Amino acid sequence: MMWIKNKAIPALAMLMALLILFAGQPVHASGVEAAVEGKPANPGSLTFVLVHGAWVDASFWDEIAAELRKMGHTVYTPEYAGHGSDQNKNVTHAQETKSVVDFIKQKDLHDIILVGHSFGGTVIQKTAEQVPDRLKRLVFFDAFVLPDGQSAADQFPAPAKEMFVQLRKASGNNTIMLPFNLFRDTFVNTATLEQAQALYKKVIPEPGGSLFEKLDLKKFYSLPTPKSYLYLTEDIAMPQIPPYGWHPGQSSHLGVYRFIEGTGDHMTTPHTRPQEIADKIVQAGRD
């Protein structure tokens, strides 16, 4: 027992010395500081900028963003012109894109994974042209990938495109509002009626002009930025009739890309199964 006691004394002395050495030294909560500055709090985390699609605002991402943050990632959900608190519906695609570009520059974001859902795919295409040096990867989540010189409306079969033309004319203010029956059958097709009705309350009239704008995307198709496509197999917001549909209709425009597949529809699943979607987004965005 004396041997144990004698050995314990130097160990205790060393511990006391360490306590004295570090007493009064500042403790750096590096993770907290990094989070405040908008930087990843740990080396394995990623920085996501999530861009919503048509007929919704940035709150579309609330549940998914919360799940990504729980994983330790940094997440931004910018709003763009003609949506959210902006009541001006006579906006151009360039104005919508500028909102996202300005947000990225004002936050001085770098190495970002830029994610676009639905119509948001067209916004991230044009955003990428303006801030390519700030991007790590582009992720298209059941999103449009427009060919050069085409519009989002051009991606639909002629009868569907004509329907949007008529809805735009009928609005009287250059917007397009989704009729509930169309929304219920194609955007939230896996939802219960109660879920569909609750989600429809969040649907907002979409500025009609930008949906029909034909975009010059030559620069986009010259960029070396890595790209991914996340496809949910039950998403029929785009008619899944070749050559239309999300995949391979839209995804094939990317050329070489990472393909990630999940299950779910266009607007129900992001709200009811956000953890699954967050996991898929990470798979699409990571190295």
pTM score:
0.86
Q: What is the mean pLDDT of residues 70-97?
A: 96
The answer to whether residues 263 and 233 touch, using CB atoms and an 8 Å cutoff, is yes
DSSP 18-40: HHHHHTTPPP--HHHHHHHTTS-
Res 7: pLDDT = 37
Annotated active-site residue 85? The verdict is no
Q: How far apart (Å, rounded) are the C-alpha atoms in residues 166 and 159?
A: 11
Single out the residue of 146, 89, 99, 95 nearest to residue 119, CA to CA. Answer: 146
What confidence category does residue 41 fall into, taking pLDDT thresholds of 50, 70 and 90? low
Q: How far apart (Å, rounded) are the C-alpha atoms in residues 130 and 242?
A: 32
Q: How far apart (Å, rounded) are the C-alpha atoms in residues 60 and 79?
A: 10
For residue 250, what are its two tokens?
Answer: 């839209």
CB half-sphere exposure, 245, CA atoms < 13 A: 16
pLDDT at 235 over 70: yes
Q: Name the amino acid, one letter, at 232.
A: L
Phi and psi dihedrals of 118, rounded to 5? 60, -125
Instruction: Point out the catalytic residue in the list 118, 151, 228, 251.
Output: 118
pLDDT tens readout for residues 130-185 = 999 999 999 999 999 999 999 999 999 999 999 999 999 999 999 999 999 999 99
Q: How far apart (Å, rounded) are the C-alpha atoms in residues 215 and 145?
A: 11
